[in-house]
Structure formats: structure tokens, C-alpha cells
């Protein structure tokens, strides 16, 4: 066999192994028990994507419910140019400073996967750029002793959050540390999942909806009533 | 009594135009409202009968004293001042207004392509927390509104999400052993 045939064989095997790994990850039942038990005083690093507008409002309402002494440090991931979301997060942090006096939080800015009204033709390029930034933050950075990967990532849409999810998933695929992925569907979705909900549903560790009609598979979807 | 109309950051020409029409102004007056504020966002409307007294600010003289303007950084004070709020179907507006326990009539914008917003207002109207109407039926909706029959909206309960995340991350002390996956 020539060198080329060997290379082709290796490439095929690699692709097949990768595919198999992905299939196992997607079909394996999720762990019945979540992460290992933690003591009440232990901390947990936390990240949330603020998807602007209503997504940001709902995400920050959810974050406001958390114990800020426990979930530190906090990372707010925002889209490029979304100063309003940044401002709202700072407002929440200062309001919460009363109960957790040493706020430890940072912002990470990711290029938008797709701008409103952007043509579908150019979307793959901006989405790729967005993915590179997310992979940089979740995979490459932590490997180079930059800030470690957060232990949990909260997502609630729209588009760019899919990119973050894919980047986090890549870590899982490579066997690296990856955040627990929690998706909360918007309170506004009563009968139909949003596009980001549909995309993220098979990938996340917890898929939570706020209206019981949206629970299609009790092993995968959960509803605990209104969370916002 | 004061009524506040809001379209948020959207454009909703038909609603703004309808609110400024005689049938709506008449019914509001009859129901005891004396002042009306309209936050019109990016909407276009017929300003020929209005007095423009600043950039993006108009007044309308008459029995019902009316002010129209485009944006403000926060609408909280406007919600608090109002005895009735008429709004587009944005979920943020709906939650904010209902948490302030204000009577709310929601008009979903039929020109939005992905009109999932009507899902939320229909569901909440079904539970009695608000009234849902259309642009054309707005006068009847105001006429027929009996605020005493509206069902109070529950206050924010942060424990649900807090417990969900604590449980997922292994803090059992504050979590309940319930939920679909346990």
C-alpha cells in the first residue's frame, strides 16, 4: 500500500472515530445524578450569555435569583457592540453588591454570529468568526493557563448562543473540561420552541421550558413553571 | 385617571394611529380617563392634528389631554403613573407591567413575521392576567374592561431557578429531590 492509501485510511478512521464519539455523546443517557456533591461553602464558577433585548432581561432575572457568594467568579458573555446588556449586568452587580460585597465578575465579548437583517450568504463567515472567538475562550485560552473554563454556562438564545454551545461541546468531544450547559427557553415561548431552543435541545445538559405544553420528552425536557 | 400606551422599541403604526382616533379617545373619556401618554417608538402616524412642541414630542388638545413621544431610557415611572396600560405584545413589557399589578390590554402586532408574541399574550389572557385584543377591536376592549375580574400575576419566585442550578451543581442542602430527571 502506498503512503497515500495509508493516509486515506488514517483519515477515514479518524473521521469514523470522531463520528462514533459524537454519536455516543448525543445518544448516551444523561447522568442520572448531576455533578458530585458540593459543600455549601464551596464556590462554583458561572457564565451566562446575554443575547440582548428580551434575552438579556430574562437571563439577568434568572441570575438575580442566584447566591452571588456561591456562584463566583461570574462571566457575562455579550455580543460585540451590545453596551446595553453590559450596562444592565453592571446594574445587577451593583444592586447585588449589598449581599455579596466583593463582586468578582468579568465580561467577554464575542463577535455576533449573525446581525439582524444580515444576508444568509455572508452568515457562514460571521458565524465562523464568532465560533473562533468562542473556541478561543473555552478551549484554547484555558489550555494556555488563561482563566479556566466556567463550571456552568447558562444560555437562553438567540443565535450566538448556539456558537457558544458548539464551542463548549467541542471541549466535551476532545475530553477537555467543559461547562455544564443549561438552556432556559424564553417565558414568551408557550406552544413552540424558539429556533435556538430547537438547535440546542439535543446538546445541552438541562433543557428547561417555562410552559408545560413544551415538554415533549420527559427525559429531556423539564418544566418547573415560570422562572422569571 | 391616566392611560399609557407603549410599543417599546418596535414600530406599530396601526396601534398608534388607532389610539389617536376618535372612537378610542371617546371611549377612554367615557370610562373616566383624562390624560393619555403614547410612547410611539419608531411608528409613523398622522401628526397633522397634533402640535409638535419638541423633537419627537407632540401634544393633542381636547377633553383627553394627550402627549406623544418616541423613547425614554426607562418606562417604569410611566407604568407606575398609569391606571391602564395598552401595549404591544413584547414579553418584557408584559412582565414589567403585570408585576406592577396594572390593568393591561395587549395588542399583538400582526405585521411581525414570526408572530410568536401572540402566543404569550393569548396564554396570559386565557389565565385572566390581561386582556388581549386587536387594533380594530380596541374600543370595545376598553369599553368592556372590568379590572376587578383580572387575575393577579404571581410575583417573581427566584427559588425555582436557584434550586434548579444548585441541584445541578451538586449543592443538595438547598435543593429538593424532585424534578423530571431524578
- How distant is the Cα of A214 from the closest Cα of chain B, in angstroms? 12
Half-sphere exposure of A27 (CA within 13 A, CB side): 6
B39 with B75: CB under 8 angstroms? Answer: yes
Domain locations in chain B?
Answer: 2-151, 155-182
Q: Say how many residues make up chain B.
A: 182
Q: Please name the residue of chain B whose CA is at the shortest distance from the CA of residue A65.
A: B158
Judged by CB atoms closer than 8 Å, whether chains meet at A226 and B162 is answered as no
Would you tell me which residues 53-82 of chain B have a C-beta closer than 8 angstroms to some C-beta of chain A? Answer: none
Judged by CB atoms closer than 8 Å, whether chains meet at A30 and B181 is answered as yes
Across the range B170-182, mean pLDDT stands at 56
Partners of A184 on chain B (C-beta within 8 Å) are 161
The CATH classification of domain B2-151, taken from the options 3.20.20.10, 3.30.1370.10, 3.40.50.2000, 3.40.630.30: 3.40.50.2000
Among A30, A205, A211, the residue with its CB nearest the CB of B123 is: A211
Among B116, B117, B164, the residue with its CB nearest the CB of A224 is: B164
What is the model's pLDDT at position B177?
A: 46
Q: Please name the residue of chain B whose CA is at the shortest distance from the CA of residue A154.
A: B165
What is the model's pLDDT at position A116?
A: 72
What is the model's pLDDT at position A17?
A: 80
Q: Could you give the CA distance from residue B85 to residue B94 in angstroms, rounded to a whole number? A: 10
What is the model's pLDDT at position A124?
A: 87
A215 with A223: CB under 8 angstroms? Answer: yes
Q: Could you give the CA distance from residue B173 to residue B175 in angstroms, rounded to a whole number? A: 6
Judged by CB atoms closer than 8 Å, whether chains meet at B161 and A65 is answered as yes
The domains located in chain A, with CATH, are: 53-223 (3.40.50)
A90 with A122: CB under 8 angstroms? Answer: no
Q: Is A172 on the interface with B (CB under 8 A)?
A: no
Residues 6+ apart with CB under 8 A from B2: B33, B34, B35, B36, B37, B81, B82, B83, B84
Among B91, B162, B170, the residue with its CB nearest the CB of A66 is: B162
Q: Could you give the CA distance from residue A51 to residue A71 in angstroms, rounded to a whole number? A: 20
What is the model's pLDDT at position B181?
A: 44
What is the model's pLDDT at position B178?
A: 44
Please state, as a whole number, how many other Cβ atoms lie within 10 Å of the Cβ of residue A91. 11
Residue B114 in grid coordinates: 414570526
pLDDT tens profile B34-54 = 999 999 999 999 988 899 988
Across the range B14-34, mean pLDDT stands at 97
pLDDT tens profile A88-144 = 999 999 999 987 777 899 999 999 888 777 888 888 889 899 999 998 888 888 877
Q: Is A84 on the interface with B (CB under 8 A)?
A: no
What is the model's pLDDT at position A107?
A: 96
Q: How does residue B180 score in pLDDT terms, banded at 50, 70 and 90? A: very low
From its phi and psi, is residue A81 left (phi > 0), alpha (psi between -120 and 50) or beta?
left
Would you tell me which residues 83-112 of chain B have a C-beta closer than 8 angstroms to some C-beta of chain A? Answer: 90-92, 95
User: For residue A159, is pLDDT > 50?
Assistant: yes
Q: Could you give the CA distance from residue A213 to residue A189 in angstroms, rounded to a whole number? A: 10
User: For residue A73, is pLDDT > 70?
Assistant: yes
pLDDT tens profile A175-224 = 888 999 999 999 999 999 999 999 999 999 999 999 999 999 999 999 99
Beta-bridge partners for B58: B52, B68
pLDDT tens profile B69-79 = 999 988 999 99
pLDDT tens profile A1-50 = 688 888 888 888 888 888 877 777 776 655 545 567 899 999 999 999 99
pLDDT tens profile B79-137 = 999 999 999 999 989 999 999 999 999 999 988 756 678 899 999 999 999 999 999 99
What is the model's pLDDT at position A32?
A: 46
Q: Could you give the CA distance from residue A151 to residue B105 in angstroms, rounded to a whole number? A: 42
Q: Is B127 on the interface with A (CB under 8 A)?
A: no
B contact test, residue of A40, A61, A65 with most B CBs within 10 A? A65
Edge-first strand listing for the sheet containing A152-155? A105-110, A74-79, A46-50, A152-155, A180-184, A206-209, A221-223
User: For residue B2, is pLDDT > 60?
Assistant: yes
Partners of B174 on chain A (C-beta within 8 Å) are 40
pLDDT tens profile B146-164 = 999 999 999 999 999 999 9
Edge-first strand listing for the sheet containing B51-54? B51-54, B57-60, B65-69, B35-39, B2-6, B84-87, B104-106, B131-132
Judged by CB atoms closer than 8 Å, whether chains meet at B161 and A70 is answered as no
Q: Could you give the CA distance from residue B102 to residue B83 in angstroms, rounded to a whole number? A: 7
Would you tell me which residues 102-141 of chain A have a C-beta closer than 8 angstroms to some C-beta of chain B? Answer: none
Amino acid at each position: 500500500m502506498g503512503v497515500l492509501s495509508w493516509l486515506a485510511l488514517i483519515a477515514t478512521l479518524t473521521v469514523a472515530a470522531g463520528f462514533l464519539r459524537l454519536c455516543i455523546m448525543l445518544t448516551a443517557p444523561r447522568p442520572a445524578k448531576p455533578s458530585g456533591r458540593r459543600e455549601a461553602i464551596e464556590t462554583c464558577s458561572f457564565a451566562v450569555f446575554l443575547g440582548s433585548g428580551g434575552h438579556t432581561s430574562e437571563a439577568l432575572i434568572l441570575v438575580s435569583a442566584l447566591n452571588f457568594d456561591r456562584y463566583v467568579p461570574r462571566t457575562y458573555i455579550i455580543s460585540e457592540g451590545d453596551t446595553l446588556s453590559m450596562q444592565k449586568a453592571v446594574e445587577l452587580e451593583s444592586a447585588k453588591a449589598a449581599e455579596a460585597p466583593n463582586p468578582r465578575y468579568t465580561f467577554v465579548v464575542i463577535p455576533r454570529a449573525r446581525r439582524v437583517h444580515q444576508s444568509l450568504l455572508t452568515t457562514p463567515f460571521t458565524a465562523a468568526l464568532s465560533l473562533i472567538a468562542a473556541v478561543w475562550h473555552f478551549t484554547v485560552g484555558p489550555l494556555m493557563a488563561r482563566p479556566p473554563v466556567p463550571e456552568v454556562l447558562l444560555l437562553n438564545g438567540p443565535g450566538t448562543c448556539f456558537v457558544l454551545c458548539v464551542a463548549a461541546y467541542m471541549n466535551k468531544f476532545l475530553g477537555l473540561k467543559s461547562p455544564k450547559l443549561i438552556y432556559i427557553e424564553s417565558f414568551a415561548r408557550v406552544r413552540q420552541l424558539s429556533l435556538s431552543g430547537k438547535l440546542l435541545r439535543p446538546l445541552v445538559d438541562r433543557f428547561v421550558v417555562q410552559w408545560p405544553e413544551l415538554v415533549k420528552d420527559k427525559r429531556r425536557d423539564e418544566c418547573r413553571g415560570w422562572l422569571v | 385617571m391616566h392611560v399609557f400606551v407603549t410599543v417599546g422599541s418596535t414600530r406599530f403604526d396601526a396601534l398608534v394611529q388607532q389610539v389617536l382616533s376618535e372612537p378610542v379617545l371617546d371611549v377612554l373619556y367615557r370610562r373616566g380617563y383624562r390624560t393619555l401618554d403614547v410612547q410611539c417608538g419608531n411608528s409613523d402616524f398622522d401628526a397633522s392634528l397634533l402640535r409638535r412642541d419638541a423633537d419627537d414630542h407632540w401634544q393633542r388638545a381636547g377633553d383627553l389631554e394627550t402627549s406623544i413621544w418616541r423613547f425614554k431610557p426607562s418606562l417604569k415611572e410611566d407604568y407606575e403613573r398609569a391606571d391602564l396600560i395598552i401595549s404591544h405584545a413584547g414579553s418584557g413589557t408584559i412582565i414589567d407591567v403585570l408585576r406592577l399589578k396594572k390593568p393591561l390590554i395587549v395588542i399583538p402586532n400582526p405585521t411581525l413575521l414570526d408572530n410568536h408574541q401572540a402566543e404569550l399574550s393569548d396564554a396570559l389572557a386565557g389565565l385572566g392576567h390581561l386582556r388581549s385584543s386587536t387594533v380594530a377591536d380596541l374600543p370595545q376592549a376598553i369599553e368592556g374592561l372590568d379590572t376587578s375580574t383580572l387575575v393577579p400575576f404571581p410575583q417573581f419566585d427566584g427559588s425555582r431557578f436557584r434550586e434548579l442550578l444548585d441541584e445541578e451543581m451538586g449543592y443538595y442542602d438547598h435543593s429538593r429531590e424532585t424534578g423530571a430527571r431524578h
